[in-house]
Chains A and B, each alone.
Chain A
Amino acid sequence: MADLFNIGLSGLSVYSRAIAVTGNNVTNVNTEDYCRQTIQLSEIQGDGNAGLYIGHGVNMDRVKRMTDEYVVGNYRKNLTDFSEFDNLFKKANEIDRYLGDSNLNIAPGLENFFYALQTASNQPESIPARQGLMNQAQFLATRFNSIDGKLRGMLTDLNTSLSSATNEINNYLSEIATLNQQASVSTSANLSLQDKRDHVVNKLSQLIGVTTLAQDDGSLNIFTNSGLSLVIGGVVNTLTTIPDPAQPDIHNVVYVSSGHTLEINQSDLSGGTVGGLLRYRSEVLSPTIQTLDRLATGLEYSLNEQHQRGMDLNNRLGGFFLNDINSSSAQSSRVYSQTSNTGTAALTVTVTDPSALTDDGYRMVFMGGSTYQLTNLRTQAISTYNTGLPLSINGVSIQLSSGTPAVNDAFMVNPVRYAARDMRLQITDPASFALAAPIRTAEDPQNTGTGVISMGTVSDITNASFATQGALSPPLTIEFLSSNTYRVLNSTTGSAIQTGPLPYVVGQSNELFPLPAFHTSIPSGLFPPGTLPLINVGELTLNGTAIAPALADGVSTSDSSGSALAIAATINLGTATHGVTAIVNPNEFNLGVYTGGALAGAQFQINGQNIVAAGATQQDLLDGIAAVSGTTGVTASVNSLNQIVLTATDGRNIQLTTNGTSGAATFSGFSLTGPASNGVTRGTVSLSQATGSIVVAGTAPGDAGFTADTYSAYDPGYRVQMTGAPNTGDRFMVEYNTNGRSDNRNALLLLQVQQNKLFDGNQSTVNELFTQLVSRIGSDTHSAEMSRESSESQVRQLKDDLEKISGVNLDEEAANLMLFEQAYRASSQLIRTGQTIIDVIFDMIR
């Protein structure tokens, strides 16, 4: 009977505990990460022989946590992913919303600014229009400042978020360590301890990606995804944040093991909040700040450059429009010397070409000698430069401003840092907007030709022409020496700046300055025959190259020996060596006014041919010259002063001979009377060279009509073009645009900045770069959202799977409750039955 009691008792004891387990399940239905517990029963070993075996009741083997380590592990991994994408998405979304808001972003600021500029260009003299421009320019700068402030605020917030995330991680790590110790000392597996530890590991996984390794003693070791140990049994290695030694505004997560701080590659920390935040910073936030800074740099550079080429309402040259991108403070703020550097070197960075700028930053390490190693912080590509400083790379020049670097000194170079933050309008008075050009041109009212001069554009405001405020140094006069040559004079002194004669071509647009280096030989006048100098080797050198002798002396005038034609041909033989091209000019000789008289026989010869003037009129003489021009190569024409001009178009010599017998024909410039006379005249040769200077030297360059000197192109710092047909003596002036208050030429050029491709190797306009930025953030946000959604549904799926195993179903528990209650009742019934049996025996005894 005792068996029956024992069996019943075992039932009572087991089922009351079973009801308690069910009750525990029911009450923990809403407990996070609670694993449903089930009981495992077994029969108590009975006794008796074969065929007579009787069991001894029920035993509760164990209460079991319903879980599946594989599902849990998977769930945790996806939880980490989800948390990473969730953080990435939320933060990126913040920027996306901010920059997408048309009231906050740059695009309308730019649009309004250029609109105001256009309005001002319509009325450059109007102060209200200029005031409007000033307001919009101010707004634009403020927009850059405030967006930059917002983004940098995000960077600071991110440091705080990282720091609190690492604190939380550390708390969880020590909690796990404590639980590990408890788990390893308690012999019986404590289920709630396991639940708790799983819960903490889940929490930890949401903060950072970890891997776990269960130990035989029941403890759980925790590692980062990259393998750094965080918890080993009861020992904890923590994570903390410290400022990046090379860029203090960014805090990095570092690893602390037994009091030693170890820097870790930030990209190794993946998953969870920390992974998400770091990814957000490196993929979204920092590039955004960088692009915004690049945008600001390009805009500042272009507006400044153009504005400085203008003139304001007070006749002053335009100063900086926005702040100087290469101010000394800007230059030094682009480089951080790592705090651990032992050298004294201070570096600066100058932006030389905004179009070549990229969003990349560099870590620059001095390797000794003149070797620097640059690591591109985005691509991690390493390049080595052996030529020392300054170093030019992607639109910037890195210089050493003071001190000397020590080997392994590191510098963090950010070519556009703080450009958006520091954008300031430099103009405080609306009259100071340089909307006019500082030069203007004018034609002389006395001009008789149809030449039209352009108004001119400034190409280099640093040229000496603009050295004096309010004046052109010097103002220039372009004076036409003939219909196709001109020279350049200083208008104030009248002295020649470019004696020329410089070539002018009718029927096309002529660039008046700068020209290629240009020099023309001096016409030789009339030489007695046989005295036209020979050009011996060494007498004329061009750019150091000796010109070979130009044949004979030209006494034999029927050919072209020793003539300008021959000299030019000889020079051109060596063009490949000395770089100079010679152009032969028509040889002209002015006979003066023909005052009548007939010519016959050998009274007058041109290039050895007798000239016969049948009558006494000018036309008779012209006919006479024309009759033999096929042989002489010389034609005659009458100029506006009624003078007869002989021309050898090909530049050959003109030899004139008289026998002194004519008493009738007279010229005002050339005598046919008196003793027999003759003379040879030589044409001129123009030298031209596309770039650089022409050095004319030698022992006797005068023999070819040249003067030893260095002939350079003249660049006044502005460009002026001319079209039309000017006449000899026509003048055109270039002067300072004093009081040119209605001039809007520079405003129109400033407007061009809106449409100029300023960025990405002249590929993108300001608006396009900003649009790229916004759409890049949009894409980043969008893809983060997609990843977040897919990892979220994974998490949900795995959570479902887990819930299927571990979750409490109240209906099930209710059924269990009924089941266990019935079993309990039945067990108590067993005891009652045993009692009844004993009572029967007692009754029999009695």
Chain B
Amino acid sequence: MRISTQQFFNQSVYNMQEQQKMIYDLQQKISTGKNILQASDDPVSMAQLYRLNDENKRTESHNETVSVAERENRLQDSLFTDAINGLQRVRELALSAHNGSYGRKDFQNVAIEIHQRLGELVQLANTQSVTGEYLFSGYKTGQTPVVADATGRYTYQGDQGQRFVQIGPETQVAVTDSGYELFFDLPASSSDFETRVDRANTGNALISIGTMRDATTWQASNPATYSIIFNTPSNTFDVVDDSNPTVPLTGLNNVAYTSGNTITIQGVDVVITGTPNPGDVFHLEPPANQDVFTTIQKLYNALNTAPSLNTELIYRLDQSLTNIDEAMNVLNAHRSEVGARLNIIDSQKEVNDSFKLWTTEAISDIQDVDLTSAISDFSMYQSSFEAAQKTFLRVQRLSLFEIL
């Protein structure tokens, strides 16, 4: 068979180039540690790699969120514990005041401590994060959630929003509870009373939280609901029992209104201040719910003014104890919920971690070069390349012209 000289050279050079390319590829794989450098190396595996990397990164971000969720819920847990301890102390103080040997001075002393506890609780409800956001304002974290108005009534300024974060592909967990849920929307003792401005009122008048003047009368009339209805013009008002709205209560018909004067309804003193409009209505009724701050404020007011352990103080102490117990129940329920959330977070973290481990391993399986076999391949190609070079040197000298 004829072989042209050029063919011979070309063939040798081609073979050496092929070996060189193999060595180059292997060298690149070994130096990068990657088996797949571009999609054409293995399109199917590359597609898997993209998916795995995406999932890996997403799991990482979920894990970051897991830490956030854990931190926030642990903080809540400790704040709830503080609040419950605070309430517990108030409860003990209220119980201690149920003591026939206490005099006015003793009650005042108890009142002083209760006032401090109340301050602490308000402060706790108004806790701010390091960045100055209020924790218990719902979504309105720029807003102080718990504020007392001129009548001593505490109002909630935040909203009822609750923030959730994504800790797993399908798992969201709450990281906040609104102050409304925690401190304001609490079940109340049905034998207590509350005062309320009717939602349809157009005037600016406010009603005080009320004080008990004559517990016996109130309890005898309970559970009736009463309305203070302003007449036209609004310088007089009627007080009616809602079950019989057309007949004013005795002595409470066409009463002249003076801002700040006390109105006594079935043993309860209330004070209306400001300018009501004709038709404005104020209610005195068994509470639909209570807020823990106003409850403690009422307790403080009663203790601060009680001359002795009279019927009115006993009534207030009883109501307060019931209400504080309800508040503690709600906080305890929320604390168990936080505990449950922490459990979910924990188990999601485990799921995330094992998923991340799995994806990382899968990525490594697909992408990482098997160094042992790569290096052994490399040595093999290297020696055959060297052999090709040596034989080429020898063979290219085998020319007749060399001998001529």
Contacts and interface: CB of A to CB of B under 8 A. Distances in A.
A835 to B, nearest CB: 30
A739 B142 contact: yes
Contacts of A782: 40-41, 43
Contacts of A92: 40
A290 B142 CA distance: 46
B350 to A, nearest CB: 19
A125 B133 contact: yes
Interface string B131-159: 10100011111110000000000000001
A745 B138 CA distance: 12
B64 A807 contact: no
B289 A445 contact: yes
A96 B160 contact: no
Contacts of A110: 54
A393 interface: no
Interface stretch (A209-217, A320-328, A809-817): A809-817
A738 to B, nearest CB: 8
A809 B176 contact: no
Contact of B196 (A101, A121, A446, A754): A446
Contacts of B278: none
B102 interface: no
B6 A29 contact: yes
Contacts of B380: none
Given A121-B166, A796-B14, A767 B47 contact: no
B58 to A, nearest CB: 7
Contacts of A101: 38
B400 A778 contact: no
How big is the B interface, by class? 35 or more
Contacts of A738: 140
Given A107-B54, A778-B39, A740 B165 contact: no
A97 B166 CA distance: 35
Contact of A740 (B46, B131, B159, B175): B159
- B133, B169, B185: most-surrounded residue (chain A CB, <10 A): B133
Given A107-B53, A440-B160, A808-B4, A445 B46 contact: no
Interface string A100-116: 11000001101110110
A115 B141 CA distance: 24
B351 interface: no
B404 interface: yes
A126 interface: yes
A768 interface: yes
B141 A767 contact: no
- A780, A799, A807: most-surrounded residue (chain B CB, <10 A): A807
Contact of B43 (A111, A444, A445, A778): A778
Interface residues of A, number: 83
Nearest to A124: B163
A777 interface: yes
Contacts of B58: 111, 114-115, 754
B160 A115 contact: no
Contact of B140 (A123, A739, A796): A739
A740 B64 contact: no
A13 interface: no
A138 interface: no
A770 interface: yes
Nearest to A448: B288
A744 B47 CA distance: 33
A743 B165 CA distance: 10
Contacts of A448: 288
- B38, B39, B185: most-surrounded residue (chain A CB, <10 A): B39
B399 A814 contact: yes
Given A111-B58, A118-B64, A804 B1 contact: yes
Interface string B382-404: 00000000000000000111001
A610 B72 CA distance: 68
Contacts, number: 215
B3 interface: yes
Given A767-B50, A774-B50, A810-B401, A743 B39 contact: no
B46 A774 contact: yes
Given A442-B159, A811-B400, A742 B176 contact: yes
B37 interface: yes
A745 B174 CA distance: 12
B326 interface: no
B311 to A, nearest CB: 28
A22 interface: no
Contact of B2 (A124, A777, A804): A804
Given A122-B68, A742-B161, A774-B39, A803 B3 contact: yes
B1 A748 contact: no
A767 B161 contact: no
Contacts of B1: 804
A36 interface: yes
B3 A743 contact: no
Contacts of B373: none
Contact of A775 (B47, B57, B176): B47
Interface in A408-445: 436, 440-445
Given A740-B139, A740-B159, A803-B3, A99 B39 contact: yes
B270 to A, nearest CB: 17
A376 interface: no
B372 interface: no
A39 to B, nearest CB: 17
Contacts of B80: none
Nearest to A99: B39
Contact of A743 (B42, B163, B200): B163
A119 interface: yes
B139 A812 contact: no
Contacts of B159: 440, 442, 737, 740
B64 A119 contact: yes
A245 B98 CA distance: 98
B40 A119 contact: no
Interface in B158-193: 159-166, 169, 172, 175-176, 180, 184-185
Nearest to B285: A446
A443 B37 CA distance: 58
B6 A807 contact: yes
Contact of A804 (B3, B14, B64, B133): B3
B3 A809 contact: yes
Interface string A739-773: 11111110010010011000000000001101110
A740 B158 CA distance: 9
A29 B5 CA distance: 7
A93 B40 contact: yes
Contacts of B137: 742
A250 interface: no
Contacts of A112: 57
Interface string A773-809: 0111111111001000000000010011001111111
Contacts of A739: 139-140, 142-143
Interface in A543-569: none
B131 A126 contact: yes
**What 10 A-B pairs have minimum CB-CB distances, sorted nearest first?**
A807-B4, A778-B39, A740-B139, A778-B43, A781-B40, A100-B38, A814-B400, A803-B7, A743-B139, A111-B57
8 contacts: A29-B5, A118-B62, A121-B65, A455-B161, A742-B163, A809-B5, A810-B401, A818-B404
Interface of A: 29-30, 36, 92-93, 96-97, 99-101, 107-108, 110-112, 114-115, 118-119, 121-126, 436, 440-448, 455, 494, 641-642, 737-745, 748, 751, 754-755, 767-768, 770-772, 774-782, 785, 796, 799-800, 803-812, 814-815, 818
Interface of B: 1-7, 10-11, 14, 37-44, 46-47, 50-51, 53-54, 57-58, 60-62, 64-65, 68, 131, 133, 137-143, 159-166, 169, 172, 175-176, 180, 184-185, 196, 199-200, 243, 288-289, 399-401, 404
Given A767-B51, A778-B46, A808-B6, 10 more contacts: A115-B57, A447-B288, A742-B176, A748-B166, A768-B51, A775-B44, A803-B6, A804-B2, A804-B4, A810-B401
